[in-house]
Amino acid sequence: MSDDIVIWKSVVRPVYPTWTQLTSMPATREQHGFAEAGGLLYVAAGINGITCQDDLYAYNPATDMWDDTLALVPSVRQSAVLRAVSGKLYYIGGMESASITDVTGRCDEYDPDTDNWTAKTAKPTPVEDFGSAVYDGKIYCFGGLKNVAGTPTPTNVMEVYDPDANTWDETLDDMPGALWSGDFGTYYDGKIYACGAAAVYTGYPASLTPVSTVYVYDIATDTWAAGTAGPEGFCYREMVVVDGVLYSVAGSTIGSNTEITDLVWRYDVAGDEWLYTGRAPNAVRGSALCLYDGEIYTVGGYDGSSQIAELWKVEPL
């Protein structure tokens, strides 16, 4: 028998955050808008699996209750962008039916104080499934699918909306390549990140072909550049940023619309690395993310068989 002494090294297992389930929204939904204004979380329109919707719901985190009595969105829509600026909501672009021929550039403003919608200057390039981010009171919109003679066509166009002036700026640098599928953008520290999505259109829903591409836009220099690619291709999932860390939750993966994941990844900007961060409550695509009071909220989505209405939250690592 050997006299050698073997000392076993302890294995430190990573701790992943635990999700908390909250009251589900009033209806099942995917490809809807989700944004915070005045301490309430708003869900706008989307699709219930059959038809586009025009509902507007408000969730109160303090009471864990929903208000479904708000003024309807001016048109039924899916795959649009919902962003908040100065306490008001802006619902931009999307499709007014399940047909690419009904893609729109319309921009509507919602005032929570009056419960009224007001039509604003339309986006110059009508698109759906595009990325967006908010910086300095302006809404940056990039990529998406546009309608070219009835054919869905990915684009790399960047256009910026100024709510105060009610104008669009089309002169900024466009992304290096086209991206589309879900709101794949977010802002942090002078830069806008476009993370993943799909780069080409080969048919829907069978072949989404998502990519791991990351583009980074420097606002000060008006230039896009390639960023550190993600761990794998994802599409139809959104991004939020907390304390210099970008979070990606669930979505569709390489292959097809039915290959749906529950994986959560985070990108540490300072460390320039992507890290596995556990699993979401559901494997879904077309869900929506919102950041409020330091916590990430996710609502709705498609789980491979049907749309869901579940609402969950998590405190990031």
Average confidence (pLDDT) over 192-196: 95
**The residue to which tokens 């306490």 are assigned:** 87
pLDDT at 218 over 80: yes
* Residue partners of 187: CB distance under 8 A and separation at least 6: 133, 134, 135, 140, 193, 241
Give the chain's mean pLDDT: 93
- Give the rounded distance of the alpha carbon of 78 from its chain centre: 13
Residue range 259-287: mean pLDDT, rounded: 94
Side by side, the strands of the sheet bearing 88-92 are 81-85, 88-92, 107-111, 116-120
Q: What is the percent of the chain with per-residue pLDDT over 90, rounded to a whole number?
A: 84
Can you say how many angstroms the Cα of residue 170 is from the centroid of all Cα atoms in its chain? 22
Q: Indicate if the pLDDT at residue 206 is higher than 50.
A: yes
Buried (b) or exposed (e) across 215-245, using 16+ Cβ within 10 A?
bbbebeeeebeebeebeebbbbbbbbbbeeb
DSSP state at residue 179: -
Query: 10 Å Cβ neighbour count for 153?
Result: 16
Residue 49 is predicted with a pLDDT of 87
**Model pLDDT, residue 1:** 44
Evaluate if residue 12 carries a pLDDT over 70. Answer: no
Report the pLDDT value the prediction gives residue 67, as an integer from 0 to 100: 98
Confidence of residue 222 (pLDDT cuts 50, 70, 90): very high
Q: What is the pTM of this model?
A: 0.94
Q: Which two tokens stand for residue 206?
A: 């069978």
Instruction: Say how far apart CA 35 and CA 12 lie, in whole Å.
Output: 37
Which amino acid is located at 15 in the chain? V
Q: What residue type is 43 in one-letter code? A: V
CA distance 136 to 228: 25
Per-residue pLDDT tens over the stretch 42-61 = 999 999 988 999 999 999 99
Angle at 268 between CA 267 and CA 272, to 5 degrees: 95
131 has a pLDDT exceeding 60: yes
Q: What is the DSSP string of 96-156?
A: SSSSGGGB---EEEEETTTTEEEEEPPPSS--BS-EEEEETTEEEEE--EEEETTEEEE--
**Each residue's pLDDT tens digit, 68-113:** 999 999 999 999 999 999 999 999 999 999 888 899 999 999 999 9
- C-alpha–C-alpha distance, residues 216 and 206, integer Å: 29
Residue ranges of domains in the chain:
20-314
Q: pLDDT tens for residues 251-260? A: 988 655 568 9
Looking at residue 2, its pLDDT comes to 47
CA 298 to mean position of chain CA atoms: 10
Q: Which of 128, 129, 123, 120 lies closest to 103 in space, CA to CA?
A: 128
Could you please state the CATH topology (level 3) that the domain comprising 20-314 is classified under. Answer: Neuraminidase (2.120.10)
